[in-house]
Structure 1
Amino acid sequence: MVSQYQNELKNFVEREKLAIRAISPIHKLWVERSVELLLFRRVMVHQGPIDILKSHNYARQISKVNFGIELTLPIIETLADMPLCPSRIDIGLLAVKWVESGKDRGELRTFLEGCLTDHLKPNGADFEPRDVVLYGFGRIGRLMARLLVNQAGGGGALRLRAVVCRGNLNVAKRAALFQRDSVHGPYQGNITVLEEEDAFVANGVFVKFISASSPDQVDYEAYGIKNALIVDNTGVWRDRDGLGLHLKANGADRVLLTAPGKGDIPNIVYGVNHRTFNEEERIFSAASCTTNAIVPVLKAVNDAFGIESTHVETVHSYTNDQNLLDNYHKKERRGRSAGLNMVITETGAASAVAKALPELTGRVTGNAVRVPTPNVSLAILNMELQQEVDRDTINDMLRRASLEGPLVAQIDYTRDEDVVSSDMVGNTHAAIVDSLATQVHGKRAVIYVWYDNEFGYSMQVARVARIVSGVERLRYY
């Protein structure tokens, strides 16, 4: 008699074999056609068989469909034989629709062609790649570099060409910081430092390092860089006059700030207001990490139930702006030791909501508490709704928003009763709703939203970068 131990192990090995088989067509689609496959927003490219199976386990939990690699593999293999244009395709959504259609395996290709009509057009994603320069190479700058390098293998809608530093280049040291990260782990790729050329090569991407004390001092065209998007990670210049200095540099075409912009600079939260900017605009802001976390959730709730008012309390990991030990700081309380204290401070996220969601102008207040953790923050949304709801209704609405609709890239959802902040490191979403923490009483609702304030935010910046550069690929999710 075969034991349960043997049965379970045999079943796992069979699923692992199928996952291994899936890797080849996933890679083929990415390298040959710049088609990136996802499974309910979990990226399939560059994943090993265990990671692929874990993503299927998540899909099974969140979708309430009996997901398995047996269901998605035929879809993946069929897609690999279709003449798709550069795009991002969520096979989870396709699989759910396939199951709901009740059609048999022989009709799969016809079904997929019907779903992906626009993706089969030869010029469906017709654009020229955009050169990108990272101005600053701190926490966000290095994560952006990782993201851009990893995206280059599929045709590179955004091409990382250079990094500008305001101090000593010391490329070897900067490459070491790129390669090793205490929060996000080692870089999963190859890197070679070319000290004589002030550059490094990461997974075949040549990245030039340039020293400049002011944005208008660089001649990018001298390095073969043209019509570049300058991503300013320094936070030094935040108004139109300061950021406009970038546009005085030869080879610079547009500027994207990775902090809230001042004055009339468009603050864009991808997924919410990324289609509303003036086509003639050349200076943009990707807002803040907290704004990107709370705005998608506020929009989903407001669209469904209406929000009378809300107070946002963000429990935020410490940042480089704070002191390791007590010392002078121009802002109150931030001079006290970041690693030893909870520090009450202000947040501009509440006032920034109005720029992305004008309908909530005057309805949002906020405060922040910096805590002794290096990454991942928590926003607590205490809301007065315009109608009475119950906990299951509001949670199910957010669960569905994480699966389909315009906010799937921004909102993730968990009902894991053991989840803590470190489990969210590396999450690609702007916000992760902790459904088990949701509190509802009549018109009062409290929603807890996790967010990786470094990586999740960097993903949002990359999305905004593509849209303002005109190199956004077609999507099916």
Structure 2
Amino acid sequence: MTVNEDAFTNWKHREEIAESMIPIIGKLHRERDVTVLLHSRSLVNKSVVSILKTHRFARQIAGEELSVTETMPFLRALTTLDLGCCQVDLGMLAALYKADDRGLSVEEFTAEAVAGATGDQKIERGQPRDVVLYGFGRIGRLLARLLIEKAGSGNGLRLRAIVVRRGAGQDIVKRASLLRRDSIHGQFQGTITADEATSTIIANGNAIKVIYADDPSAVDYTRYGVKDAILIDNTGKWRDREGLSQHLRPGISKVVLTAPGKGDVLNVVHGVNHDMIKPDEQIISCASCTTNAIVPPLKAMADEYGVLRGHVETVHSFTNDQNLLDNYHSSDRRGRSAPLNMVITETGAASAVAKALPDLNARITGSSIRVPVPDVSIAILSLRLARETTREEVLDYLRKVSLSSPLKRQLDFISAPDAVSSDFIGSRHASIVDAGATKVEGDDAILYLWYDNEFGYSSQVIRVVQHVSGVEYPTYPAPVA
């Protein structure tokens, strides 16, 4: 057999295994609320090729490719266990098993690794929690996609309604079309129909009521069967406690803001300070996309090396706040054409660090440049460390953080030498360390952090909503603190 024939035969074999994984992954998700991951990347509702590509991507972070032949035995082992609601990372299972020298079988090792999700300790499936989206723009529609995707088991979070101002003719049809097709993030994965007679969008079987209102005080959500819901405000119109409290109408019990909160509103970066949310807190902010991008790696570096001071320069994609062509704008420079210019502007991300990391005794400054790309940004984080180190040590540390620490869902790692911004469209991590661009000299470190300022941020928002709703299930094997 020639090399080419051998490679093709190997591919077909792995393709067959990946194909057999799909119904197992789907059944675990639908029947038990078990989400199967591979190095923090969900394998639920993925195609054969997507599963194989996710396995191959492991070499970017773990240093070597992972084969479906290695992970399939662990997946089969999961089906023999009485699992409760949880997430299971096959990549972590395979890596830990390889390093284990006790001679356990795959079945024995798997049962031990996920013991917290079985028996008396397992989490039983509860009733779904209602969610309402107030605003249906860029972030609102991506949140809708994520909520619909995560409703596959019929439990957890359930998108019940969106609140918008009434548009001109065919409002429902046009909003459904914007959810169905996205110029950046591609087609919606599923089916969408619009029922104008009942003002309802039906997406993958989820009936989403479209409520028309000009302000929060005009809505009684109980009229639409909504109860004890979490409302996500995507408009950014109200950012302090007084303004956001207007949403606490009949049917709404908590409000989550997708913009930096003002005053005493808690700014939350999931993975870093979400444990500061009090059970009775009704108003929460998810800070900004840039704050979510820089705080996790900043915490990681501060924990290991100490940080004396820092500066973040964000090179940010343009947004709807800017003008398509030169026109009046209330802010300096933002009136100039977004797709034709680099625009120097301000960022509040640096000052927001203090709210998310109150124990960090370091001054962090920041500035921003908007550039002519529609999505994905990069934060250049320049740090003065409390001790000297080397580039190799920092990269090895950040790689481990991305693989097995409590920050592994927030911080990703890539070593590809030719990676560019469009490669990170759709990333669900808050930020991605670019190993090739990282610079370290003595006590000075410069990290280049990619982030999908739309989808990555929306994923962080959903994690906060899952946490406050009580449907944020534990991951096994447990991350290494």
Q: TM-score, normalised by structure 1?
A: 0.97
Once the 2 structures are TM-superposed, how far is the Cα of residue 444 of structure 1 from its aligned partner? 1.0
Question: Cα 1:414–1:60, aligned 2, differ >3 Å: closer, same or farther?
Answer: closer
CA distance in 2, matches of 1:316, 1:156: 36
**Distance of 1:292 and 1:217 partners within structure 2:** 33
Cα distance in 2 between the residues matched to 1:474 and 1:431: 21
The Cα offsets for residues 247-303 of structure 1, whole Å up to 9 and x where unpaired, read as: 1x1101000000000001010000000101222210000110000000000000010
Paired position in structure 2 for 1:142? 141
Residue 173 of structure 1 aligns with which residue? Answer: 174
Deviation at 1:60, TM superposition (A): 3.5
Q: Which residue of 2 aligns with 1:264?
A: 264
Q: In the alignment, residue 328 of structure 2 is paired with which amino acid?
A: Y
Say yes or no: does 1:438 pair with 2:443.
no
Instruction: Say which SS state the counterpart of residue 449 (structure 1) adopts.
Output: strand
Partner residue in 2 for 1:295: 295
Q: Is the 8 A contact 1:125 1:474 kept in 2?
A: no
Shift of 1:128: 3.2
CA distance in 2, matches of 1:79, 1:101: 19
For the aligned residues, what is the CA RMSD? 1.3
In structure 2, how many angstroms separate the alpha carbons of the residues matched to 1:423 and 1:67?
21
Match of 2:475 in 1: 475
Match of 1:264, SS state, is coil
Amino acid at match of 1:117: A
Q: Which residue of 1 aligns with 2:82?
A: 83
Corresponding residue for 1:8?
7
3-state secondary structure, aligned to 1:164: strand
Aligned partner letter, 1:453: N
Residue 254 of structure 1 aligns with which residue? 254
Distance in 1 between the 2:74 and 2:441 partners?
A: 44
> How far is the alpha carbon of 1:50 from its aligned partner?
1.2
Contact 2:318 2:375 in 1 (8 A): yes
Query: CA offset at residue 66 of structure 1?
Result: 5.6
Higher mean displacement: 169-178 or 252-261: 169-178
| Matched length | 474
Q: Offset of 1:216 from its aligned partner?
A: 2.0
2:129: which partner in 1?
A: 130
Residue 366 of structure 1 corresponds to which residue in structure 2? 366
Residues 124 and 474 of structure 1 are in contact (CA less than 8 Å); yes or no, is this contact kept in structure 2?
no
- CA gap of 1:326–1:66, structure 2 versus 1, over 3 A, is closer
Task: Deviation per CA, 1:398-419: give whole Å up to 9, x if none.
Answer: 1000001110000000010010
User: Which residue of the partner structure matches residue 106 of structure 2?
Assistant: 108
**Mean Cα displacement is larger for which, 17-26 or 294-303?**
17-26
Q: Distance in 1 between matches of 2:120 and 2:272?
A: 29
Find the counterpart in structure 1 of residue 383 from structure 2.
383
Q: Aligned equivalents of 2:363 and 2:16: distance in 1?
A: 53
Secondary structure in 1 aligned to 2:339?
A: coil
Q: Is the 8 A contact 1:28 1:80 kept in 2?
A: no
Give the distance between the partners of 1:201 and 1:331, measured in 2 at CA. Answer: 39
2:397 aligned partner: 397
Tell me which residue corresponds to 1:429: 429
What is the percentage of aligned positions where both structures have the same residue? 50
Q: Which amino acid aligns with 1:410?
A: Q
CA deviations over 1:234-254 (Å, ceiling 9, x no partner): 00010111000001x110100
Flag the 1:312–1:242 CA change in 2: closer, same or farther, 3 A.
Answer: same
How far did 1:110 drift?
2.1
Greater Cα shift, 251-260 or 357-366 = 357-366
User: What is the SS of the residue equivalent to 1:53?
Assistant: helix
- Distance across 1 between alignment mates of 2:121 and 2:212: 39
Aligned to 1:199: 200
| Contact in 2 for aligned 1:244/1:283 (Cα 8 Å) | yes
- Aligned residue in 2 for 1:98: 97
CA distance in 2: counterparts of 1:382 and 1:139, whole angstroms: 30
List aligned pairs for 1:14-413, cutoff 5 A. Answer: 14-64=13-63, 67-102=66-101, 107-121=105-119, 124-126=122-124, 127-168=126-167, 170-247=171-248, 249-360=249-360, 363-413=363-413
**8 Å Cα contact 1:398-1:413 kept in structure 2:** yes
Q: Offset at 1:468?
A: 1.5
Q: 2: distance between equivalents of 1:7 and 1:346?
A: 56
Aligned residue in 1 for 2:465: 465
Distance 1:453 1:370 in 2: 12
Give the CA deviation at 1:48.
1.1
Contact persistence 1:313–1:379 (CA under 8 A): yes
Is the Cα–Cα contact under 8 Å of residues 308 and 361 in structure 2 kept in the other structure? no
Q: Deviations over 1:118-153 (max 9, x none)?
A: 211366334432100000000000000000001111
- Stretch of structure 1 that moved more, 415-424 or 52-61: 52-61
Give the stretch that moved more between structures: 68-77 or 357-366.
Answer: 357-366
SS class of match (2:266) = coil
**Unmatched 5+ residue regions in structure 2?**
none
2:410–2:431 CA contact under 8 A, matched in 1: yes
Higher mean C-alpha deviation, range 39-48 or range 357-366? 357-366
Distance 1:360 1:326 in 2: 41
Query: Match for 1:164: what amino acid?
Result: V
Unaligned runs of 5+ in 1: none
* Structure 1 residue matching 2:159: 3-state secondary structure: strand
Q: What is the one-letter code of the residue matched to 1:433?
A: V
2:82 and 2:118 in contact (8 A); partners too: yes
Residues 361 and 258 (structure 1 numbering): CA distance in 2 closer, same or farther, change over 3 Å? farther
Q: Which AA in structure 2 matches 1:132?
A: V
CA 1:313–1:61 in 2, change beyond 3 Å: closer, same or farther?
Answer: closer
Q: Distance in 1 between matches of 2:442 and 2:172?
A: 58
After superposition, the C-alpha distances for 1:195-214 in whole angstroms (9 at most, x for unaligned) are: 10101111110000000111
**Aligned to 2:76, what secondary structure does the other structure show?**
helix
Deviations along 1:312-344, one digit per CA (max 9) or x if unpaired, are: 000000000000111111111111110111000
Structure 1 residue ranges (4+ consecutive) displaced by more than 6 angstroms after TM superposition: none
* SS of aligned partner of 1:275: helix
Task: Indicate conservation of the 8 Å contact 2:40/2:89, yes or no.
Answer: yes
Q: Which amino acid aligns with 1:358?
A: P
- Residues in 2 aligned to 1:411 and 1:112: alpha-carbon distance in whole angstroms: 25
The residue matched to 1:242 in structure 2 has which SS? helix
